[in-house]
């Protein structure tokens, strides 16, 4: 077992410490930990505080979709490290990460309940969304849990969908917004800006030659963000947060190459190659397009940066986060 902030992270169910047993657990994949997930987790925290028990989540790694279709690109809104960091900010005491492997995929819903929820974890209460399915061939549902709870003596809360203007919050809707480059809408659904993290890698240094040196970051496999210019905030590995403008595209003015994320940090001239940065997308400035010359592109980049500065000046300041 390891600690992240005040939330304990337990990998697997074979050796669950006594203090993590008897918890109130929210179950799900929680990709994105969006507003709908947050409502579900809030119910678990409320029930845990009412009953004097630990509040936690039970999630699966990798995402079942990645296990069943390993060769198909899957856009994860929050890789595990990021997911745990966000969950840590929601007041949870414990996160239990079950490896989603062939053995778990083959386990029946009844076996999952009896052996893992009851036997290994001794759950006191389960909180799930209305569309939660689990077990071999998705044979278990919220109603399966209700019946099992009555038989085994644990409580079950089923949370109805949480909606925005009539549309339920969902990871799918957020992926669609990001695919269109609408990072502002994605942030509204997530409850925070969407962000990516990675080491700064070398590039062609074309931005340096144009007067806009950039920090390049390789996006995680499967990431599907619409191309364009974005106003961003960048968190360095030393804890500093800086404003900037980011470009994602194929550089049609030059080579139409593979897309890479290029970040220009305002009022910053330090060398950060090899260091890890986290990029939070605040709003889109414009779509990507081809320019007739490098000079025309530079003039547009100057305008883009001015617009990005204005967007960031009007945006809420970044909230403090637990380390």
Return the structure tokens found at 127: 């909180």
Instruction: Output the pLDDT for position 252.
Output: 66
Contact 59, 100 (CB under 8 A): no
Asked if CATH classification 3.40.50.2300 holds for the domain at 185-314, the reply, yes or no, is: no
Can you spell out the DSSP letters for 36-75?
HHHHHHHHHHHHHHHHT--EEEEEEES-HHHHH-TTS---
pTM: 0.90
CA atoms within 13 A on the CB side of 80: 16
- Tens digit of pLDDT at every position of the chain (323 positions): 444 458 999 999 998 999 899 999 999 999 999 999 999 999 999 999 999 999 999 999 998 889 999 888 889 999 999 999 999 999 999 999 999 999 999 999 999 999 999 999 999 999 999 889 999 999 999 999 999 999 999 999 999 988 877 788 999 999 999 999 999 999 999 999 999 999 999 765 565 555 678 899 988 888 999 999 999 999 999 999 999 999 998 876 667 667 889 999 999 999 999 999 999 999 999 999 888 788 888 899 999 999 999 999 999 887 655 43
The full DSSP string for 105-160 is HHS-HHHIIIIIIIIIT--SEEEEETT--BSGGG-B-HHHHHHHHHHHT-EEEEEP
Spatial CB neighbours of 266, under 8 Å, sequence gap ≥ 6:
242, 243, 244, 245, 305, 309
**Homologous superfamily of the 2-164 domain (CATH):** HUPs (3.40.50.620)
Note the pLDDT of residue 164.
76
Task: Give CA–CA dist 124/267, Å, rounded.
Answer: 53
Q: What confidence score (pLDDT) does residue 171 get?
A: 95
Q: Is the peptide bond before 62 cis (omega within 30 degrees of 0)?
A: yes
Domain ranges within the chain, ordered by starting residue = 2-164, 185-314
Q: Is 166 exposed, middle or buried (0-12, 13-18, 19+ CB in 10 A)?
A: exposed
Q: Are 66 and 298 in contact (CB under 8 A)?
A: no
């Amino acid at each position: 077992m390891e600690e992240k902030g005040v939330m304990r992270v337990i990998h697997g169910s074979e050796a669950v410490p006594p203090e993590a047993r008897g918890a109130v657990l929210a179950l799900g994949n929680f990709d994105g930990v969006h507003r709908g997930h947050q409502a579900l987790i809030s119910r678990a925290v409320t029930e845990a505080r009412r009953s004097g028990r630990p509040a936690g989540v039970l999630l699966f790694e990798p995402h079942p979709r990645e296990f069943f279709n390993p060769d198909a690109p899957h856009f994860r809104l929050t890789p595990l490290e990021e997911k745990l960091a966000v969950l840590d900010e929601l007041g949870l005491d414990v996160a239990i990460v079950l490896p989603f492997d062939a053995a778990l995929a083959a386990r029946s819903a009844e076996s999952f309940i009896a052996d893992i929820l009851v036997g290994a974890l001794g759950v006191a209460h389960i909180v799930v969304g209305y569309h939660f399915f689990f077990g071999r061939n998705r044979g278990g549902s919220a109603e399966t849990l209700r019946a099992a709870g009555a038989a085994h003596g644990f409580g079950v809360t089923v949370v109805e969908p949480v909606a925005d203007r009539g549309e339920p919050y969902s990871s799918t809707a957020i992926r669609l917004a990001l695919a269109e480059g609408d990072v502002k809408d994605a942030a509204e659904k997530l409850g925070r800006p969407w962000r990516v993290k990675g080491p700064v890698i070398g590039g062609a240094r074309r931005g340096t030659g144009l007067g806009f040196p950039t920090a390049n970051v390789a996006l995680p496999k499967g990431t599907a963000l619409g191309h364009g210019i974005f106003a961003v905030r960048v968190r360095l590995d030393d804890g500093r947060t800086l404003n900037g403008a980011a470009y994602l595209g194929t550089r049609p003015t030059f080579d139409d190459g593979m897309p890479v994320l290029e970040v220009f940090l305002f009022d910053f001239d330090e060398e950060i190659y090899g260091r890890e940065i986290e990029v939070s997308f605040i709003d889109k400035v414009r779509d990507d397009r081809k320019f007739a010359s490098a000079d025309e592109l530079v003039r547009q980049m100057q305008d883009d940066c001015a617009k990005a500065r204005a967007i960031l000046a009007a945006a809420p300041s970044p909230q403090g986060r637990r380390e």
